[in-house]
Structure 1
Amino acid sequence: MGRAWIWVQWLIGWLPVAALFAVLMMTVHGAGIHEALHYSLRLMATAAVLGLVVHRVTARLPWPHPMRLAFIAKHALGAALYAVAWVLANSIVESVRVGSIVLVVGPGIAAYLVTGVWFYVMIAGVAYAQRAAARNAQLEALQARSQLAALRAQLHPHFLFNALHTVVQLIPLDPERATRAAEQLAALLRASFDNPREFVTLREEWAMVQLYLDIEAIRFGERLRVVTEFEDAALNELLPSFALQTLVENAVRHGAAPRVEATTVRVTARVEGETLLIATADDGMGAEPAALETGGTGLRRLRERLGWLYGASASLTVQTAPGRGLRVELRLPVKDEA
């Protein structure tokens, strides 16, 4: 937010107070509307300028938890000084305006001082409320970032451990293939840790997924077939890193892994208006819907992550039934840039 806009907000905040004072002067003291407006605006102008000092004071005196007597005493002294300074500032402005020394006391010096104290309390209260709101917003943003980092960190080991499990399974059966798989896993690890971004293009994500599929191809051989249908426009769109990886891994886990027959996993991506649609579908064993949403599944973590990143703008839907394959659709709003 620009400094000029902050000043505009500050002035706008004082206008209702000036209007209230003008109404009081007209109703209580019988002043005309022009006289009342001019006088009240002068009073509020000096109060607003002195209020900037109060704002700085509140920044140097954070709200204590628990409340302390010293804090109250400092603000009581500040309120008294503000009230006196306000009376003096109004007197100086009026003296300059009429060309002679004038002490502005209005209906009485006591009433002016009390009004000054009330202004101080109002300004300080608003300042502390604004800082509390800003602090809460920062805490919520930090919590969101921490939650995203935790969910993202959970996705890393989820597919890396599965890939490592593939290598371990191959060691007693085919040491040569296990060696090749270990080398590919090392490449997968490097690619994973060399890309810490929250969002990547679909093209980059698919390059990562291919490393994973290369390892699974060693494990499954001809039992795993992958077919892709990517629109050119979709390849340059952004999505959360490891999102497509999660979908593909889920298809392999619930489709190819439980069966002896060959399983085809179809991966598609296209842009529909302002939405990026990514889908995986297999003709494998399928799964119980409840099994995909409970425990530490990658889909559940991905859905939580989508909620933090997009709110209700993104969706993850699953269509499955035992023995009839699994289809997962991910819909994301098109992002302009990373």
Structure 2
Amino acid sequence: MKHEMPQMAELPDFCRASILYLTIIASLLLAALMAFLGTNWRSNYWLSFSSFALFNLWTAVSSVGILCFIKRYFGQMTLRRFSNLAVLITTSISIIFSLLLQWYLDQTITLDFLLRNGAIALIVSGVFFRYYFLQQQSLLQIQSEAEARVQALQSRIRPHFLFNSLNTLANMATIDPDKTEESILDLADIFRASMQRADKLIPFAEEQQLCEQYLKLEKQRLGDKLQYQWQTDTIAPELPFPPLLLQPIIENAVYHGVQHRQAGGEILITGVSAKNHVQLEVTNPLPTTQASLHKGNSLALRNIRQRLEVLYQGRAHLSYHSSNDSFYCRIKIPKRQALEFE
């Protein structure tokens, strides 16, 4: 996969107060180090520290101000070009302030003093932006690989779901054409959602609607054997949610639970919204025989767990267990935005 050059959007926002605070702290730490490396540092440490701190702060704050302006009004510049420009600006400002300082102190302008300050500014700013550039390149590589994994995991749509749905629609076509048309539209919505990018979040209400359409299709096939109930009123409809994350769990509940029971059963979908996360649980009756329970079920759940790991970087969890002739599958995701790729 071809990687695009990191753009300005991946740079720190130099207009933010937090960046200014970090710049001030870094300038003071650098001044402390420079004073320590000076001659006779034991007797002149605090005087040297004050001088270096004042000079570093002038240079750093001025550089941050100019970078803030450049980032705001020249937002299409690549990260590599911006980094080179930022190093040049920081070095130039350091040399300019060195000239002003010697002029203010009425001292003879020496080339060694200018070169020393310019070299320090060049090295410090060069190391910072080189590190940040490599960090962004690595992040793009990780995101690209993660996106490929998410798309591969998302693309695993069960063929028998399609075949069963088409057979159901074929049987319905001569009996109830209107309901057949509605079911075809529901099926089209589900497969349209499966072909969309799986790393882009959708509102929870849309995921719930897709699950509802899927359950309606299965109810056409299973009839009264399939019952289901939603208890998710506490979850905000606009909550960002991974597409087709809940639907495979409900599909498992149908194929590995209700379908294998002569009397059928009820699927219960419950949701709880806490301060920082939401929790969804799908409960279905266990099949009368355990032969079909674990193989396909565990594969689908492992797929979902991998998607959660990629999207939420360890902040989301999936768990499941059996108890009292029922199977419980629970997912817990943070309300904060998941990882999304441009």
Length-normalised TM-score, structure 1: 0.68
Q: What amino acid does structure 1 have at the position aligned with 2:184?
A: A
Q: What amino acid does structure 1 have at the position aligned with 2:32?
A: A
Q: Which runs of 5+ in 2 are unaligned?
A: 1-12, 71-78
Deviations for 1:219-276, whole angstroms, at most 9, x for unmatched residues?
A: 2234x231315153247484433233212211221234445x2211321304274542
- CA distance in structure 1 between the partners assigned to 2:233 and 2:305 by the alignment: 26
1:183 aligned partner: 181
2:100 aligned partner: 92
1:215 aligned partner: 217
2:305 aligned partner: 303
Q: What amino acid does structure 1 have at the position aligned with 2:213?
A: L
1:19 aligned partner: 32
Which structure has the highest helix share of the two? Answer: 1
C-alpha RMSD of the superposition: 4.4
Q: What amino acid does structure 2 have at the position aligned with 1:95?
A: W
1:136 aligned partner: 138
Contact 1:281 1:327 in 2 (8 A): yes
Deviations for 1:16-71, whole angstroms, at most 9, x for unmatched residues?
A: 2222333445625954734x344323543565479779999x943879xxxxxxxx
Q: 1:200 aligns with which of 203, 213, 216?
A: 203
1:268 aligned partner: 269
Which SS does the other structure have where 1:271 is aligned?
Answer: strand
- CA distance in structure 1 between the partners assigned to 2:334 and 2:37 by the alignment: 55
Deviations for 1:167-216, whole angstroms, at most 9, x for unmatched residues?
A: 23664x66525856752442214534379662333x54443333223322
Contact 1:26 1:33 in 2 (8 A): no
User: Quick check: 1:7 aligned with 2:26?
Assistant: no
Contact 2:283 2:328 in 1 (8 A): yes
1:45-56 equivalences under 5 Å are 45=57, 48=60
Deviations for 1:94-118, whole angstroms, at most 9, x for unmatched residues?
A: 322x4xx42254xxx5576356434
Q: Which runs of 5+ in 1 are unaligned?
A: 64-74
Question: How many percent of aligned residue pairs carry the same amino acid?
Answer: 18
1:1-338 equivalences under 5 Å are 1=13, 3-5=15-17, 6-25=19-38, 27=40, 31=44, 33-34=46-47, 36-45=48-57, 48=60, 59-60=80-81, 89-96=97-104, 98=105, 101-105=106-110, 110=112, 113-114=115-116, 116-152=118-154, 154=155, 157-158=157-158, 162-168=161-167, 171=170, 176-177=174-175, 182-192=180-190, 193=192, 198-201=201-204, 204-222=206-224, 224-228=225-229, 230=231, 232-234=233-235, 236=237, 238=239, 239-258=241-260, 261-271=262-272, 273-274=274-275, 275-284=278-287, 285-286=289-290, 287-294=292-299, 297=300, 299-319=301-321, 327-333=327-333, 335=335
Which SS does the other structure have where 2:40 is aligned?
Answer: helix
Structure with greater Cα Rg: 1
Q: What amino acid does structure 2 have at the position aligned with 1:199?
A: I
- CA distance in structure 2 between the partners assigned to 1:4 and 1:53 by the alignment: 10
Structure 1 residue 162: Cα displacement: 0.9
From the superposition, tell whether residues 48 and 54 of structure 1 become closer, same or farther in structure 2 (CA, over 3 Å): same
Q: What amino acid does structure 1 have at the position aligned with 2:327?
A: R
From the superposition, tell whether residues 162 and 325 of structure 1 become closer, same or farther in structure 2 (CA, over 3 Å): farther
Contact 1:188 1:211 in 2 (8 A): yes
- CA distance in structure 2 between the partners assigned to 1:198 and 1:50 by the alignment: 40
Which SS does the other structure have where 1:232 is aligned?
Answer: coil
- Give the number of aligned pairs: 304
